[in-house]
Amino acid sequence: MPRSGATTFVGREEDLTRLHEQIQCSGQVAISAIAGMGGIGKTELALQYARRYGTGQDEVSPYGAVCWLQVRDQDVASQIVNFAQTYLALTPPDGLELVPQVNWVWAHWPVSQSVLLIYDDVANFDRISPYLPPQTDLFRVLITTRQRF
pLDDT tens for each residue of 83-100: 999 999 999 999 999 999
Supply φ then ψ for residue 143, to 5 degrees. Answer: -120, 130
Phi, psi of 85 (to 5 degrees): -70, -45
Q: Are 50 and 38 in contact (CB under 8 A)?
A: no
The dihedrals phi and psi of 139, each to the nearest 5 degrees, come to: -115, 135
User: Mean pLDDT, to the nearest integer, of 9-31?
Assistant: 71
The answer to whether residue 2 is domain-embedded is no
The pLDDT, as a whole number, for residue 29 is 57
Tell whether 83 is covered by a domain.
Answer: yes
Rounded to whole angstroms, how far apart are CA atoms 34 and 22? 11
Containing domain of residue 66, as a range? 13-145
How many folded domains does the chain comprise? Answer: 1
Does residue 28 fall inside a structural domain?
A: yes
Q: What pLDDT does residue 61 have? A: 72
Q: How far apart are CA 69 and CA 79, in angstroms?
A: 7
At 45, which CATH number? Answer: 3.40.50.300
